[in-house]
Structure 1
Amino acid sequence: MTVRYVESSKLPTSWGIFDMHGFEDTETSKEHVVLSMGQIDNGEPVLARIHSECLTGDALFSLRCDCGAQLQSAMHRIAMEGRGVIFYLRQEGRGIGLMNKIKAYRLQDKGADTVEANEQLGFGADMRDYSILQPMLEHMNIHEIRLMTNNPRKVKALQELGINVVERVAHESGRNPHNAKYLETKKGKLGHLLEDQDDGES
């Protein structure tokens, strides 16, 4: 595996002080970050979020998706528990990259859903590779996680890597009128375990 640990530092946030750990994939030159809080290497299952980079949602406050809200919710939940970890993976646009994501957004502006837009550009619905997590988890000495996700494919991918997901923690937040179709597509075509709109957030 080409992912190597670089360095760690403190990261003060609105939710508390996290430790930030830098990793580099020497094959792709992509840099990934792990945020941790509390003692995560004591053998107890760790509350975890595996979050793929979303510049538009995480940093530009886009309402087209629920990514930024999910990231903030994960940081809040970990701070409340006092222990947990977030793997921030540089896999923009489900792995297709930022420029292709903008092209996909343009197709969505014309009526395509998020899956159709990716496929019209010649990509699969989800191009992310979670194998890069293995060296990160090994470095952090994490063997069991309680995964904050609504995506059963993510759970399956981790289990196939030999990562013990002892619990799936429902993680729904950020629903708004601009992302209603996006969320329904994630539920209907990608199998995400989301509540119906009338049921509210969980």
Structure 2
Amino acid sequence: MSDLPVASVRTRVNVPLTFADGYSVDAQMVTFRDLVDGREHVAVVLGEASAVPLVRMHSECLTGDVFGSARCDCGPQLREAVERIADRGGVLLYLRQEGRGIGLYNKLDAYALQDDGLDTYAANTALGLPQDARDYTAAVQMLKALGMNRIDLLTNNPDKETQLKALSVDVRARVATGVFATDHNIPYLRAKVLQTRHTLPLTELTVG
């Protein structure tokens, strides 16, 4: 997409990361100017430079990433992605798109409807909201500002690959994440498979 607005690197800062399980790694966090949506997305650069970096686009999830909510798989995916990217070389794009882009309060409203039996997508629809409002144009700007035009994409979500390719990113391969099932998130994971074709094995989405 030749007319994509150009973003530039604003700041690079070294940040040592330590997770609750004891895993630690040195990272470089990068901020940007002129992102199209005006949000404060950040790139977390990990490992040694690679000709084809491993990239994870991780949408912010306060409940899962910070508080360890078992209703989703976001926290474990974030932890896994950091280690896999550090081992391979690449970047984690931490995108401020809470609740698949509907925001934190709306996400919690959707949780309340899920408690009444709706799945994660039907709950959004019942609130008059998009099932998935995320747009990855800013992510592409970030990748281009970092000089990453050919990548391997760490995701189970085919829509991420589709959007990146539509914006002229060369996605060499889509690399699956792990399966992080809990007693509380099985309906959520199954809905992702059935509604939006996430590449998760349904046979593994049971607990016990």
* TM-score (normalizing by structure 2): 0.88
Q: Distance in 2 between matches of 1:78 and 1:134?
A: 18
Kindly report the root-mean-square deviation, in angstroms, between the aligned alpha carbons of the 2 structures.
1.9
**CA shift for structure 1 position 128:** 0.2
Contact 1:24 1:31 in 2 (8 A): no
Q: Distance in 1 between matches of 2:106 and 2:197?
A: 23
Aligned length: 197
Where does residue 67 of structure 2 map in the other structure? 60
Give, in whole Å, the separation in 2 of the partners of 1:123 and 1:25: 27
Displacement of 1:160: 0.6
> Cα distance, 1:153 vs. partner?
1.2
Q: Aligned runs of 1:10-49 on 2, under 5 Å?
A: 10-14=14-18, 15-23=24-32, 28-40=37-49, 44-49=51-56
CA contact (8 A) 1:152 1:192 kept: yes
The answer as to 2:182 corresponding to 1:173 is no
Distance in 1, matches of 2:35 and 2:41, equals 11
Separation of aligned partners in 2, 1:78 and 1:33:
15
Moved more, 62-71 or 171-180: 171-180
The structural deviation recorded for 1:39 is: 4.2
Letter in 1 for 2:91: V
Contact 1:22 1:32 in 2 (8 A): yes
Equivalent position amino acid for 1:35 in 2: V
SS of the counterpart of 2:72?
A: coil
Q: Secondary structure at the match of 1:132?
A: helix
Unaligned runs of 5+ in 2: 19-23
d(CA) in 1 for partners of 2:56 and 2:190? 22
Pick aligned residue for 1:5 from 2, 5, 9:
9
Q: Distance in 2 between matches of 1:170 and 1:26?
A: 28
Answering whether residue 58 of structure 2 is matched by residue 51 of structure 1, we say yes
**Structure 1 residue 112, shift from structure 2 partner:** 0.8
Corresponding residue for residue 94 of structure 1: 100
User: Gapped runs of 5+ residues in structure 1?
Assistant: none
- The percentage of aligned residue pairs carrying the same residue is 42
Contact 1:24/1:32 (CA < 8 Å) preserved in 2?
A: no
Could you say if the C-alpha distance between residues 173 and 24 of structure 1 is closer, same or farther in structure 2, counting changes exceeding 3 Å? farther
- Check the 8 A contact 1:48/1:86 in 2, yes or no: yes
What amino acid sits opposite 1:140 in the alignment? L
CA contact (8 A) 1:9 1:19 kept: yes
